[in-house]
Structure 1
Amino acid sequence: MLKSLLHTGLIVLFLQSACISSNAFANDIRQIPIDEKVVTEHKAKINGKTIPYKATTGTQPVWDEEGHPTATLFYTYYQRTDVKDDAKRPLIISFNGGPGSASVWMHIAYTGPRVLNVDDEGYPLQPYGVKNNDSSILDIADIVYVNPVNTGYSRVLPNDEGKMPSKDEQQKMFFGVKADIKYLAEWVTTFVSRNERWRSPKYLIGESYGTARVSGLALELQNNQWMYPNGVILVSPTDLGIERNGPVKAANRLPYFAAAAWYHKALDTDLQQQDLTPILAEVEQFTLNQYLPALAKGSFIDPDEKLRIAQQVAHYSGLSLTDVLQSNLDIDTDYFWKSLLRDRKQTIGRLDSRYIGIDEKVVGASPDYNAELTSWLHSFTPAINDYLRTELNYKTDIKYNMFGPVHPWDRSGNKTGENLRLAMAQNPYLNVMIQSGYYDGATNYFDAKYTMWQLDRSGLMKDRLSFKGYRSGHMMYLRHDDLKQSNQDLRQFINSTLPTEQQAAKY
């Protein structure tokens, strides 16, 4: 009865705020409710133990300064139910990236209690769906997965005159680095208040563009919401506004090239017979000490030095010496994905170069499509749509946007890396961990290391920065062995950054 009344109240609220007549509803206008939730009870087997939990799926509004709802965000919140004291239990606030991507990838493939039905390497299996995630961190922390505006079931709402904001107005409100961080900080504060989690240790985790989001949120939450996180986890991070153009951008690709070539057995025998990690250590040293200085010399490099560097780059990348020389030592990633396995008439994936594609023509400078992304959408899309409806009992006719309309995205003023550094300086409790896959060609692991090195150039906080690498790609958790290891790394990071009762936040 209560749920029925609540639902009726929400419809009334929506009719009032959007100025939509009852006749409009009679015509079956498709609209997500502004504020509702559905709660279901479950159990999961995690690390050999049975964990009872409840899942809350629903929507929570975004309000403007006058208190009018401007959007509603869809979320899924998992809370362990046999915990007596939430004040000591961590809360993980999880975002994916894009920008424009739903919070689906880490939800049903990484940290949540249910995980995608794929094979041990992450390739699609039928029947589509989810299964128990025995590696989930739900045993030690509660998790909320947040879908920013226009992703998942989250949507922009009509204004108080019943009209949708223009595209320009929507961009100013939601679709940009600064706007995104500002409204999400307000939303998170409301969520924490509603669920009485102010006393809980809090962690922000973001993947890809979501790393810029959570880096900016750390400072925004501290400075304007007075909420102080214990940790930020950056999964496959972007540049966070830390520039790495020119020679640095070109040089930083080489360790990734070596990893991808090693995986596909495209390196010379002396390298191929070694394990991956010692090769990467060798290539990283060459990159920093020889390749980067050579690129910095541009056209004024000595011809003999250029030939020597090109030979070594070819040796480490699996490309031909001709390819390297004709690229002026600066190899484009599209060309690498197209050319590495050209003799096999295959291309390799961008976000995860373990994946193989086939093109209409062997010639060309870039692949026809992203082999890894089509594979992921193959399995994620049916799984999340079925899971939300059948297991979590959230039913709607709204389309679940795997990727939503958020462009053009305003990237101006991206200082999220500097924001994260300042947040760390202000908050002695705040620690940062980076997780990257060696085969990720979009946000490569050596760029992630470079970002970590440049994040705090004073070196005064480097003991609170850590890096973890995995033998997979952008979503390293799709590979079963890395799913276990990456969750265990999260578990150790969280446990190690929880202060004792007598550990004050001070320098």
Structure 2
Amino acid sequence: MVTHPRRHAGTRKRVLNRVLLCATTLFVTSGLFVTSAMPAMALDKPHPVQKTDPDKSDDKPKMTGSAALLPADSVTHQTLTSGGKQLGYTAHAGTLTLRDDKGEPTARVFYVSYTLDGGQADKRPVSFFFNGGPGGGSAYLNLGAAGPTALTMPAGNPTDGANAKLGPNPDSWLAATDMVFIDAIGTGYSVPVKPDTADKMFYGTKADARAFAKAISLWIGANGRHASPHYLVGESYGGIRSIEVATALQQQQNMILNGIIMISPALEMKLLDAANNPLASAMLLPSLEASRLDMQHKLTPDAIEDSYRYAFGPYLTTLAAPLPASSDDARGFYAEVATRTGLDPAVVARERGTPDPQAHDVRSRNGRLFSLYDGTLSIADPFPEGIENSDSPDPVLFGFGRAYGNAFEGYAAQTLGFHTELTYDLLDLKVNSAWDYRGEGEPVASEIPQLRKLLALNPTLRVFIANGYFDLVCPFASSRWVAEHIPVGRDRIDLHVYPGGHMLYTRPASRAALSRDVKAFLTP
């Protein structure tokens, strides 16, 4: 087997790769999409209502480039059966225009909103969704988890994206909240007016939060939803984004949120650096062990609790202490880690007890190649003899996850009536590589202090965090550890863990459980 080099060099690149999300939003599109035919949708035929485009009136600046290819907004009335009830709703696919201090347009932000017909605006919650990457579009949460239409993988082959089907989502969140799915600028159908300067204007932790906060404020103003309860929903890097956007909304748009929902969140970039941070390695270990337990049909709450306590007790203590590689204690430690994770003891020893889930020799076992995004999901290893880590494909990242891009393009055109020549950019790697992670005077923005402030300044703010047991990108133990170290508002953080990986909602049972728990959270 080809072994990968130790991870002390290039750590920042490795950490950023782990947050490429889809979940994660995480899927490399490079302008290419699954070429299978668009499946028929078992949906009511939409009824067009109107098409408007306020930015094309004579007194508004004319768009150029990609921004000019976005069509007028499309509004349709549709229905969904949920919980035995028929829900009538209005779907609005359109764009919001961001402007600079001179009033000149800087970006057109694409969104899809679903609002329940007849809802009482001042009491009906409205939730704003975004994915991660950074550089990922919102199609994952829209078609994967919460929207009225869902993309479902074949029951007998969860990695078969070519035969994924679109249909009504019985687990849609529509019964509990109106929803607005927003593509980050440079992703999906959201485009900067001046691409050459977009990296400086939008592609950074702070600039991105300001743009989202303004887009949310514009939507609320245009739809008269100032009095509604307001929530943010972020996946993967969207966890960091949700904390940043909540802060920007409060400081720059005078909007105080009712709640934040995070799915498989990255909460702090520093907690993803398992190469140089023993705490990050301890957070990863329970997900590796949970994956092994599930495949052996031994996953229980007691087993998970034992794994968590071992990780933050003996395991973390051993990593933090000097440990000669040739000592008997070292060999015993590596054997314990190998037993808990199910990995080859020789691989664990080479990794010095901190297995890198991206490494091919960690993911390749018995002719199967396991996913970084779901430690129980595997495909036949195309390189069982070994290969460089950078050339080892991930079953989720390079496989079935791409189906969301093709599916959303067809859904937007056929069901939402939004026709454009633009390709839906599920994940723009140029955006990801250009991302500026700095905070205010910090080399990498720190989110936990901001979350502490949000909870303290807003005594009714509630936070819902959902993780998958088998997610090796954003491990469930990191969410628990962060929550356990919040001094104010810990009782307002709800933690939930479900069978599944980074995109836990690709499992129908977990999608249903997530929907049930979110609805309870939204209707306290």
TM-score by length of 2: 0.83
1:91 to 126, 138, 141: 126
1:346 to 368, 393, 414: 368
Counterpart in the other structure of 2:94: 58
2:510 to 451, 465, 482: 482
Q: Does 1:373 align with 2:373?
A: no
Residue 36 of structure 1 and its aligned partner are, at CA, apart by 3.8
Counterpart in the other structure of 1:295: 319
CA–CA distance in structure 1, aligned partners of residues 333 and 205 of structure 2: 39
Structure 2: any 5+ residue segments left out of the alignment?
A: 1-48, 440-444
Closer, same or farther: CA 111–147 of 1 in aligned 2, 3 Å: same
Residue 223 of structure 1 and its aligned partner are, at CA, apart by 1.7
Counterpart in the other structure of 1:323: 347
Q: Does 1:362 align with 2:398?
A: no
Whose Rg is larger? 1
Closer, same or farther: CA 30–463 of 1 in aligned 2, 3 Å: closer
Deviations 1:235-288 (A, max 9, x none): 111133555652112222211111222334xxxxxxx46334332211111111
| Percent identical residues | 26
> Greater relative contact order (Cα 8 A, min sep 6): structure 1 or 2?
2
Question: Do 1:124 and 1:379's aligned partners in 2 also have CA atoms closer than 8 Å?
Answer: no
What is the root-mean-square deviation of aligned Cα atoms in Å?
Answer: 2.4
CA–CA distance in structure 2, aligned partners of residues 296 and 247 of structure 1: 7
5 Å-filtered alignment, 1:216-365, equals: 216-241=244-269, 243=271, 245-264=276-295, 272=296, 274-299=298-323, 303-335=327-359, 338-339=361-362, 341-342=364-365, 344-357=366-379, 358-364=381-387
1:430 to 461, 467, 484: 461
Counterpart in the other structure of 1:144: 180
CA–CA distance in structure 2, aligned partners of residues 372 and 329 of structure 1: 26
Residue 417 of structure 1 and its aligned partner are, at CA, apart by 2.7
CA–CA distance in structure 2, aligned partners of residues 34 and 391 of structure 1: 17
Counterpart in the other structure of 1:191: 219
5 Å-filtered alignment, 1:31-50, equals: 31-32=67-68, 36-50=72-86
Residue 9 of structure 1 and its aligned partner are, at CA, apart by 6.4
1:398 to 417, 422, 427: 422
1:388 to 405, 412, 421: 412
Closer, same or farther: CA 339–331 of 1 in aligned 2, 3 Å: closer
Structure 1: any 5+ residue segments left out of the alignment?
A: 21-28, 158-163, 265-271, 497-507
Residue 137 of structure 1 and its aligned partner are, at CA, apart by 1.1
Find the residue that maps to 1:334 and give its secondary structure. Answer: coil
Find the residue that maps to 2:78 and give its secondary structure. Answer: strand
Residue 364 of structure 1 and its aligned partner are, at CA, apart by 4.2
Output the amino acid matched with 2:452.
R
Residue 109 of structure 1 and its aligned partner are, at CA, apart by 1.0
CA–CA distance in structure 1, aligned partners of residues 145 and 492 of structure 2: 24
Question: Do 2:347 and 2:361's aligned partners in 1 also have CA atoms closer than 8 Å?
Answer: no
Output the amino acid matched with 2:100.
D
CA–CA distance in structure 2, aligned partners of residues 227 and 33 of structure 1: 32
CA–CA distance in structure 2, aligned partners of residues 125 and 323 of structure 1: 32
Residue 300 of structure 1 and its aligned partner are, at CA, apart by 6.1
Q: Does 1:131 align with 2:167?
A: yes
Residue 420 of structure 1 and its aligned partner are, at CA, apart by 2.1
Deviations 1:351-378 (A, max 9, x none): 1223213223422463710111233334
Counterpart in the other structure of 1:103: 138
Closer, same or farther: CA 114–11 of 1 in aligned 2, 3 Å: same
CA–CA distance in structure 2, aligned partners of residues 133 and 9 of structure 1: 33
Residue 13 of structure 1 and its aligned partner are, at CA, apart by 5.7
Residue 117 of structure 1 and its aligned partner are, at CA, apart by 3.2
Find the residue that maps to 2:466 and give its secondary structure. Answer: strand
1:467 to 472, 476, 495: 495
TM-score by length of 1: 0.85
Question: Which one is further off, 375-384 or 46-55?
Answer: 375-384
CA–CA distance in structure 1, aligned partners of residues 97 and 427 of structure 2: 20
Closer, same or farther: CA 8–80 of 1 in aligned 2, 3 Å: closer
Question: Do 1:89 and 1:141's aligned partners in 2 also have CA atoms closer than 8 Å?
Answer: yes
Question: Do 2:71 and 2:419's aligned partners in 1 also have CA atoms closer than 8 Å?
Answer: no
Residue 418 of structure 1 and its aligned partner are, at CA, apart by 1.9
Question: Do 2:202 and 2:208's aligned partners in 1 also have CA atoms closer than 8 Å?
Answer: yes
Output the amino acid matched with 2:375.
S
CA–CA distance in structure 1, aligned partners of residues 404 and 164 of structure 2: 8
Counterpart in the other structure of 2:202: 174
Question: Do 2:66 and 2:191's aligned partners in 1 also have CA atoms closer than 8 Å?
Answer: no
Closer, same or farther: CA 431–288 of 1 in aligned 2, 3 Å: same
Residue 17 of structure 1 and its aligned partner are, at CA, apart by 4.4
Deviations 1:421-473 (A, max 9, x none): 2111111110111111111111111122223234x2x2x31101121111111
Question: Do 1:434 and 1:448's aligned partners in 2 also have CA atoms closer than 8 Å?
Answer: yes
1:215 to 239, 243, 268: 243
Counterpart in the other structure of 2:229: 201
